[in-house]
Each structure stands twice: as C-alpha cells, then as structure tokens.
Amino acid sequence: MTWRPKILFLLFCLALSLSLQGQETERQKLESQKIKLLDEIELANRILKETQKDRANSIGNIETVQQKLRLRERLIRTLDREIELLVEEENAMQERTDTLRVRIETLKASYAKMIEQAYKSRKNTSRLMFILSSQDFNQALRRIEYLKQYSAYRERQVKEIEKKEKELLKEMEKLRVQKVRKNAVRTQLNVEKNKLSSERLSQEEAIVAFKEMEDNLKKSLTEKQEEAQKVEKEISRIIAAEIAKAKAKAARKQLEDRAIEIGLIRGKDFSSNTSNNRIKELIDAKEKALKAANVVVADAAPNYELTPEDRVLSANFEANRKRLPWPVERGLVVGNFGPQRHPVVKSVIIDNRGIDIATEKSALIKAVFDGEVLNMFRMPTGQLALIITHGNYFSVYQNITDISVSKGEKVTKNQTLGKSYTNPINSETKLHFEIWSNQNAVNPLLWLSPK
C-alpha cells in the first residue's frame, strides 16, 4: 500500500474515533439523566405508597401521579435517544469492522502475491546465483541489502496482518457488547411504555371517580384558595414592611453620614433620638454657614435603599440565578408557578405564587442562600411559614415544622431550617416554596439549579 491510501485510512479512523467519542459523551449524559429520572420515579412511588395508606385516591395522589407520568415520558424520550445513539455507534463499529476486514484481505492478498513472486524467483535462480551474477562488488552488496530489506518487509507484512486481525477481534467483541446493550435498552423502553400505559389508565379512572364529587371538590378548593390568599397577603405585608424598614434605615444612615461629612458632631449636635426632619434642618443651616464662609461643600451622595452589605448579598443572589440549591434533597414538583387549571376540577384556576414540592416525611428543609430570618408565622391551616431575606430578594418556606432557627438569625446556604410537615389526614408531605424579588413573586424554577 502506498503512502496516500495509508494516510486516507488513518484519517478515516481518526474521524470515526472522534465521532464515537462525541456519541459516548452524549450517551453518558443520557445515562446520568436516566438514573436521575428513575430515582425521581422511585421517589414518586414511595410518596404514593405513604399517602395511599390512609386514602387511596386523594388529590395529592393525582398530582403526584401526573408528575410521575411526566417523568416516565421524559424517561421514554431519554431511552429513545439512547437507542438512536447506540444504533449510530453500532453502525460506526460495523463500518470500522468492515474496513478492517477489507484491510486484512488486502494485506493477505499482497502477501500472497509476494510469496508467489518469491517462489517464482527461487525457481528460476537461487539467491546465491542472483548475488554471484553481479557485475561488480558494489552491485553484489546492493543485491544483498535488497534481499535483506525484502525479507524484513515480508516479516512486517506478517506482523501487520496479525495486528489487524487482533484489532478486528476486539472490534467484533465491542460490536457484540453494543448489540447486547442496545437490546437491553430496548427491553427497558418497552417495559417503561407498558408502565406508562397502565399508569395513565389508573390516573384516568381516579379522575373520573373525583368528577362524581366535583361540586364538593370545588367548594373545598375555593376554601383552600381563600386560605392561600390570606397567607400570600401576610407574606406580601411582611416583605413590604421589611422593604420600608430597609429604606428608612438607609435614609437615616445617609442623613447621619451627611451631617458628619459637613462637620456636625454625633452626641453633640444630634443623637439617635434626633428626628430626621431636625437633622435635615441642622444640615441645611450648616451648609448655609459653610457657603457664607466660602467653604466648598460637596454634594450629598445618592440615596440607596439598601445597605452596602445588603447590596452585595442581593448581587450574589442575582449571580446565582439557575444555580440555587433545592430546599429539599429529594422532591417532585407537583404544583407549578403561575395561574393554572386544577388537575381535576378544570373550572377552577389556581394562581400559584411559588411551587409545590412533594417530598418524604420529615425531609430536611434547607436555606437556598445566605440571608437572615426575617419572620415566621402560623398559617390559617395551623402550619408554620418561614421568610428569609437575601438583600432585596426573599425566599419563603411553607408547611415546615421543627424549625431550628429564630427570627433575626443569620443563616447560610444549605443550612437546615426545619423539617417537612406531613398532613395527618391524607399523609401528604408537601413543601410550598416561593422566591420574591422586592414585592413581586417570581418563578422559583428559574432560580433553582436544573434537575
């Protein structure tokens, strides 16, 4: 084989190798995603098992099963894509195997031709006669060197054939393993599709059962929405009060800093008990006196609503958008942010200010970022809610028990705040989680790290 075909063959192998590496990376991501989805489905089954002890067909069950259906659908899409990659890899391996076979056949044919020519050459004249028939000594030396190189080339050809045959055996084994893996994924895909069909049927039957008592459900949902509105109103009030307090604190600090800047003395000209209006009068009088004395007075600094510490905290919180840790280690989002139709009573629109996360009993509730416990209060249902301030951002945790922090306490990211509350009536364990930017509730899923 000349140098050009060799280079083309090497380039082909390189391109094939890079393609397989890229597919391998994507398949590893799919494997990781598949494991996470299976873990969340297993969590959904555990949650359903707990809630079904007391009530076989609760609204919480329907929400959990709906999320499990969505997870199962994502798992099926993941398996579909994994099979596509496995088929692509298998085709690439098959192509490489075929190429190796052709290469081996070419080498063997070339070697056979070489042996045949050597045999014919030996038949016509011996190697010794070939050397002795040289015209001079130099030609004899060249012929001896030629015979040595020819013999070495034949040895290299044999080694090359053996090497390629070993490569072929390895590729054939890889191909066999790939086919086994592909068949295993296809079997799993069929199992998941059958489970999805069964779960959908069960869900439809549960919804039909609840439809028969839609009027009672609608009344119950209306009452729950009224309770939720009261809670949201209290959260909004607390946050608004905190923002007003921060503004007042910043305004007071700016006044005192300005007073000191122009020469007024704390403890002599004003104190912490001096009203803002009185400090403003003192500042105006002092500035007029300084100007009258031809003293240059710098303009007052711009008014900031947050302290420098809170501005840094807010900026850090903002920088961690889509990277905040989840408030529970394992959970399923069974209620999304914003207005949405109820899963059973379609005529009822639920306006959710946060997300609802179904989780395990006594799951640890953790802070999503550094901050300070702003307030905790009891909801109409009797359960506790906790608000943490992160500068001009706020995180809210509802349905929390065994609270381990107190009002005004500094907390750090991932610090335990308490445990998830389990409803004794239906055994549902659900954390309601919110994020506020100033006085506006925002979608927490846009801030939490993707699952």
Neighbours of 16 (CB within 10 A): 15
pLDDT in tens, 191-216: 988 888 888 887 777 777 666 666 67
Q: Token pair of 28, please?
A: 């590893």
- Looking at the structure, do residues 302 and 316 belong to the same domain, yes or no? no
Instruction: Look over the chain and give the mean of its residue pLDDT values, rounded to a whole number.
Output: 81
Is the per-residue pLDDT at 80 higher than 80?
yes
Q: Which residue has the higher pLDDT, 365 or 16?
A: 365
| CB contact burial 38-77 (16+ within 10 A = b; e otherwise) | bebbebbeebbebbeeeeebbbbbbbbbbbbbebbebbbe
Answer whether residue 232 is part of any domain: no
Question: pLDDT band at residue 303, thresholds of 50, 70 and 90?
Answer: low
- Looking at the structure, do residues 327 and 295 belong to the same domain, yes or no? no
Answer whether residue 221 is part of any domain: no
> Mean per-residue pLDDT for 90-104?
84
Is the per-residue pLDDT at 410 higher than 90?
yes
Q: Domain ends where: 307, 332, 348?
A: 307
Q: Token pair of 408, please?
A: 């005004």
- Looking at the structure, do residues 192 and 119 belong to the same domain, yes or no? yes
Tally the C-alpha atoms within 13 A of residue 380's C-alpha that lie toward its C-beta.
Answer: 13
- Looking at the structure, do residues 254 and 349 belong to the same domain, yes or no? no
CATH number, domain containing residue 396: 2.70.70.10
- Please report which residue ranges of 331-431 form alpha helices under DSSP H: none
- Looking at the structure, do residues 276 and 258 belong to the same domain, yes or no? yes
- Looking at the structure, do residues 377 and 284 belong to the same domain, yes or no? no
pLDDT in tens, 418-444: 999 988 877 789 999 999 998 899 999
Q: Which residue has the higher pLDDT, 149 or 355?
A: 355
Q: Identify the weakest region by mean pLDDT among 52-66, 180-194, 379-393, 406-420.
A: 52-66
- Looking at the structure, do residues 153 and 290 belong to the same domain, yes or no? no
pLDDT in tens, 109-136: 877 777 766 666 554 456 555 555 666 7
Answer whether residue 25 is part of any domain: yes
pLDDT in tens, 246-284: 888 878 888 888 888 888 888 888 898 898 899 889 988
Answer whether residue 96 is part of any domain: yes
- Looking at the structure, do residues 297 and 420 belong to the same domain, yes or no? no
Q: Domain ends where: 164, 190, 211?
A: 211
Answer whether residue 231 is part of any domain: no
- Looking at the structure, do residues 74 and 203 belong to the same domain, yes or no? yes
- Looking at the structure, do residues 298 and 317 belong to the same domain, yes or no? no
pLDDT in tens, 276-299: 899 889 988 888 888 888 776 666
- Looking at the structure, do residues 69 and 102 belong to the same domain, yes or no? yes
Domain count, the chain: 3
Q: Identify the weakest region by mean pLDDT among 18-22, 78-82, 240-244, 429-433.
A: 18-22
- Looking at the structure, do residues 358 and 293 belong to the same domain, yes or no? no
| pLDDT given at position 168 | 82
Of 399, 240, 372, 220, nearest in space to 310 by CA: 372
Domain encompassing residue 24? 3-211
> What is the secondary structure of 169-216 as a DSSP string?
HHHHHHHHHHHHHHHHHHHHHHHHHHHHHHHHHHHHHHHHHHHTTHHH
